[in-house]
Amino acid sequence: MGKLFRILGWSLGLLVVLVVAAVLILPQVVDPNDYKEEIIAGVKQRTGRDLTIDGRIDLSVFPWLGVETGAVTLGNAKGFEGTAFAAVKGAAVRVKLMPLLSRRLEVDTIGLKGLELNLTRLKNGTGNWDDLAGNGKQEEGKARSVDGTQSMDGGLAGLTIGGIDISDARISWDDRSTGRKLSIEQFRLHSGPVVSGKPVDLKLGMTLQNEQPAINAKLEMKGVVALNEAAGIIDVGGLKIDLDAKGEALPGGAVTAVLEAAISAALNGSQVDVTGLRLSAGELMLNANLKGEGLDRQPAFSGDLDLAEFDLRKWMAGHAMALPPMADAKTLTRVGASLKLNAEGGATRINDIAVRLDESQLTGSATLRGSAIGFNLNLDSIDLDRYLPPAEERSDKPAAPSMAAGGGSASTREETLLPVEILRKLDLDGVLSIGRLTISKLLAEQLELTLKAKEGQLNLGQQVGNFYQGGFKGETSLDVRGKTPKTKMDAAATGIQIGPLLKDLSGQEKLTGKGRFSANLNTQGNSVDAFKRTLAGKLDFRFEDGALKGVNVAKAIREAKARLSGKPVPKSNEPEQTDFSELSGSGVITNGVLSNQDLSAKSPYLRVTGAGEVNLVAENLDYRVEGIVVNTGKGQGGEGLDELQGVVIPVHLTGPLASPDYTINWEKILLESQKEKLKEKIQEKLEEKLKGKGLPGGLQDKLRGLFN
């Protein structure tokens, strides 16, 4: 036994002597610079690229076995002119010698200074890194375990790296197939000690510069990386990314944001989980959790997103972003949203949608499959007028010019209204239900809008359960498949109160009554002028038990009669309105001209008929109305009109729609009324003379007929 210990002692002593000798002698007899040319030639032979090594290569042995170089440059691939592919100002790596004897690898901090990497892709798609990637693939499963992770069997017992220190690096990207150029400047990466099975602290920073659009962004990132080789999982915890970007293409010219999250991913790339994701930019706060599965087979994603309620108007102002003028300056002060999503098999389903827009709440679901979008949404209430420009701005805009007057330019009249190219690509199928909607001051309740769009054909169905105490149903179709868009509109309203509708629309209740209207119209073109010129179709309406406010026809007739007769104008406290029991009519539109031949209005003392044309293109009208006084002793204001009973009262309306002129020939009316009165007196006298004369009946009838 003693002999054995002596042998072991001699062996250990000999080993120590050999190690000491190697430490002292190796650096003296081995100069790595002697192998520069061989290294350069080997790289040339293997890659076809030129390698340049400036300065000396320094070698150390104890206690660290290491190598340190000066500047190293690797030339570009054949066919790529200009700058070198890669270059470093200096590199260093050292391995602790003694742990190697126990199969442990302890590496000092790996340093890389002044790295410059220039990546280029030609128009044909070839990259200057393709030859370095190799033409073949590593043998499948070689040196890997069943779960796809690197096997450590037969290798080192453990790996320790003092850290990674990459500083002052630059990476450029020139994609000549798309014309896109960007560069990463001042790239730096620092890590804490890398010990197998233990978390590693990482810090990264860079400045990104994009040419088109011009964007300059500073990015700082930190996190803790943990590798669980046995489970085949890598975790990144405490991830935080700070972004400060500037550029004209960015909203408001600048974006400052912070992203925080925790990431867990499978090493074989099959699964990833992102939890506690938080994106903040000022008051904007987006929270999310995302999960991806089957990424190496059939990818499936799921998650939830929540945009915390915030003041969008204030946030945009703080980022120098302008909002369009709105009637209500308090809009967009409460905005938020949340949803859940699931994407699998080419389809993305969005459920539990909840969007807050000020006092409005939108809920529902949607499905996306390629470019096709389906949805089923519910909106409780919204006043769209609050989000439109102020009324004074809308009223200040000049009205559409009259072609008859030669006003306005052709470019104004022919301004394109519909984004045809976008509409042709739409693939939509959905329903939007609205509890209460206000637009252009009109109020509608219990709406259901159905929208279908595919291959250039769009259809919008509208159904309103409560529209001014009545109902409304309509359908609008748009065909943009051809060169000229074609539009068709069908609408029908029943049981509506026209008075409140007009009051909400214009602020004045000039017409009252309950009734219905319908319209079947079609037009072509893509401008207001084209719509008018090609408008065609038919319409009809009927209102009952109402009044035309602002004018009392009976009162006006009595006053005119008094003036023409030289009598005092009678005083009256009657309301300025003309009652009617029925108002109806229909029309046919051809090339933007409405023709109406059957206007009819009935009141207790008056019957009105009308016929004429309204030119929507020239925006003028030529219309004749005739009124006949009946039942003068009854109804509103009939008293005192007995002399006009049966007399036709013609009214001729002409001129622009906005302010038409009208003429009434009162002298002719009174002359006719006196003529009728004179005929009646002659008739009475004749009857008296004929009494008891015994004239044949036929002769008496002929004499009476002379005055009828």
Residue 682 within any structural domain of the chain: no
The pLDDT tens digits of the residues spanning 506-558 come to 888 888 999 999 999 999 999 999 999 999 999 999 999 999 887 777 777 77
Q: What are phi and psi of 230, to 5 degrees?
A: -65, -40
Tokens of 544: 């009952």
Residue 650 within any structural domain of the chain: yes
DSSP state at residue 644: G
Residue 655 within any structural domain of the chain: yes
Is pLDDT above 70 for 331?
A: yes
The pLDDT tens digits of the residues spanning 546-571 come to 998 877 777 777 776 676 667 777 77
The pLDDT tens digits of the residues spanning 573-605 come to 778 888 889 999 999 999 999 999 999 998 877
Residue 607's domain comprises 555-664
Indicate the range of 105-114, 149-158, 287-296, 477-486 predicted with least confidence.
149-158
The pLDDT tens digits of the residues spanning 343-370 come to 998 899 999 999 999 999 999 999 999 9
Cα–Cα nearest to 547, from 516, 513, 517, 572: 513
Indicate the range of 4-13, 235-244, 369-378, 689-698 predicted with least confidence.
4-13
Of the pLDDT bands very low, low, confident and very high (cuts 50, 70, 90), residue 65 is low
**Crossing angle of helices 666-690/553-565, nearest 10°?**
80
The pLDDT tens digits of the residues spanning 255-278 come to 899 999 999 999 888 999 999 999
Residue 85 within any structural domain of the chain: no
SS3 call for 692: coil
Average pLDDT for the chain: 82
Tokens of 171: 């990476």
Residue 608 within any structural domain of the chain: yes
Highest mean pLDDT among 228-237, 289-298, 354-363, 595-604: 354-363
- pLDDT at res. 464: 96
Close Cβ partners of 475 (under 8 Å, ≥ 6 residues apart): 459, 460, 461, 462, 489, 490, 491
Cα–Cα nearest to 158, from 232, 229, 264, 233: 229
Cα–Cα nearest to 590, from 531, 533, 657, 540: 533
Residue 584 within any structural domain of the chain: yes
DSSP state at residue 389: P
Angle at 619 between CA 613 and CA 622, to 5 degrees: 30
Residue 561 within any structural domain of the chain: yes
Tokens of 47: 């890659």
- pLDDT at res. 15: 42
> What is the number of structural domains in the chain?
1
Q: Which of 454 and 67 is assigned the larger pLDDT?
A: 454
Indicate the range of 96-105, 487-496, 656-665 predicted with least confidence.
96-105
**Max CA distance (Å), the chain:** 182
Residue 606 within any structural domain of the chain: yes
Of the pLDDT bands very low, low, confident and very high (cuts 50, 70, 90), residue 650 is confident
**DSSP-H helix ranges across 630-665:** none
